[in-house]
């Protein structure tokens, strides 16, 4: 039977911070299923900071958008995707999608673990933190870590993972006093600061007076400059994102101390999580027991309703979320 889906398209390129006017809600007829495909009804959608970069040219105007999603198969012409199966796929920003086995990964519900965690701490968000800490920075027991944007999805995952990996001291930056309290009182950070309270270098020096070994960078700009200043010799930087410049219209002025990477023999390496998807099972095996026991929380901000997906995305860019931002349909 023909299926009508609701979707969001980007309709204009933003200059600086995007707004609701750059998107449009549309109703579209999905193609009929053919052999090897299945119809998925989406349950959860992920909205992420990287999507702001896609708006500048990665996404075609007037076309379906890309985004991580969890859905349930409601009709199928594929033995590999049976009716009732839960799937992870990347046809988000819509209520329904037609997928093939190559476009979807079956999910196994883990007892005691919320389904939404597969888009958060067990999804690309948590995988980014895991890869950054274990493969790129190679955090060792007894080392000191700084995480920027620590109250966001990647940051909250990284802080909890670092503790399990044996970090001696975990420091984070966030955008409000309430988020700072959340990091230190609920998520086990040893120290945190609101980056609005002054120059970030000074705030970080006070939070980590003995220096740092590793920095997981989600911000860039002045946070990267501060980390370079405070890192000990032979420190490591895993560069995951640069939210400070996603909406900028001018080149960033910081870091001004980039040559100290040479003087202090630091290692700075950027990475894309999509190049490390083989680490997914590794992350699941490590984290699932801790999620069941409550030692780790799937920190989330959940917005209800497909009609609020644009609102949720814009909220991520304004820092309205604590933990992973999700939309529940």
- Amino acid 249: pLDDT: 65
Domain ranges of the chain: 4-117+299-328, 124-274
pTM, whole model, 2 decimals?
Answer: 0.92
- Amino acid 1: pLDDT: 55
Low-confidence ranges of the chain (pLDDT < 50): none
Note whether 101 and 82 are within 8 A (CB): no
- Amino acid 19: pLDDT: 97
Write b or e for each residue in 189-220: b if 16 or more Cβ atoms lie within 10 A of its Cβ, otherwise e: bbbbbbbeeeebbebbeebbeeebbbbbbbbb
- Amino acid 272: pLDDT: 95
Note whether 64 and 31 are within 8 A (CB): no
Note whether 175 and 151 are within 8 A (CB): yes
- Cα dihedral sign, 298-300-306-312: negative
The architecture in CATH of the region 4-117+299-328 reads Alpha-Beta Complex (3.90)
> To which H or E segment does residue 4 belong?
strand 4-10
Integer angstrom CA distances of residue 163 from 92, 157, 175, 239, 316: 32, 10, 22, 20, 25
Helices (H), 67-151: 124-131
Question: Cα-flanking dihedrals φ and ψ of residue 116, to 5°?
Answer: -60, -25
C-beta atoms surrounding 250 within 10 Å: 6
In CATH, the number for domain 124-274 is 3.40.50.720
End-to-end CA distance of the chain: 22
């Amino acid at each position: 039977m023909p299926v009508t889906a609701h979707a969001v398209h980007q309709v204009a390129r933003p200059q600086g911070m995007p707004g609701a006017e750059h998107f449009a809600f549309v109703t579209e007829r999905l193609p009929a299923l053919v052999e090897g495909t299945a119809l998925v009804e989406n349950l959860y959608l992920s909205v992420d900071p990287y999507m702001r970069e896609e708006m500048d040219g990665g996404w075609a105007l007037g076309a379906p958008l890309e985004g991580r999603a969890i859905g349930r198969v409601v009709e199928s012409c594929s033995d590999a995707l049976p009716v009732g199966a839960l799937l992870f796929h990347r046809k988000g920003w819509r209520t329904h999608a037609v997928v093939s086995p190559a476009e979807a990964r079956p999910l196994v519900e883990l007892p005691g673990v919320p389904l939404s965690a597969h888009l958060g701490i067990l999804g690309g968000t948590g995988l980014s933190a895991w890869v950054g800490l274990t493969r790129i920075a190679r955090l060792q027991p007894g080392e000191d870590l700084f995480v920027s944007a620590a109250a966001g999805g990647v940051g909250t995952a990284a802080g909890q993972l670092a503790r399990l990996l044996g970090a001696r001291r975990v420091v984070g930056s966030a955008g409000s006093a309430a988020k700072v309290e959340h990091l230190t009182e609920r998520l086990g950070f040893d120290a945190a600061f609101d980056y609005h309270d002054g120059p970030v270098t000074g705030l970080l020096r006070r939070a980590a007076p003995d220096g740092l070994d590793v920095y997981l960078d989600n911000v860039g700009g002045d946070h990267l400059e501060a980390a370079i200043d405070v890192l000990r010799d032979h420190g490591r930087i895993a560069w995951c994102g640069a939210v400070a410049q996603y909406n900028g219209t001018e080149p960033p002025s910081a870091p001004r101390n980039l040559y100290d990477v040479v003087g202090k023999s630091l290692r700075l390496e950027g990475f894309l999580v999509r190049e490390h998807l083989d680490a997914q099972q590794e992350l699941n095996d490590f984290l699932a027991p801790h999620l069941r026991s409550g030692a780790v929380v799937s920190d989330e901000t959940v917005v209800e309703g497909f009609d609020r997906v644009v609102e949720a995305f814009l909220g991520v860019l304004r820092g309205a979320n604590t933990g992973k931002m999700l939309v529940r349909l």
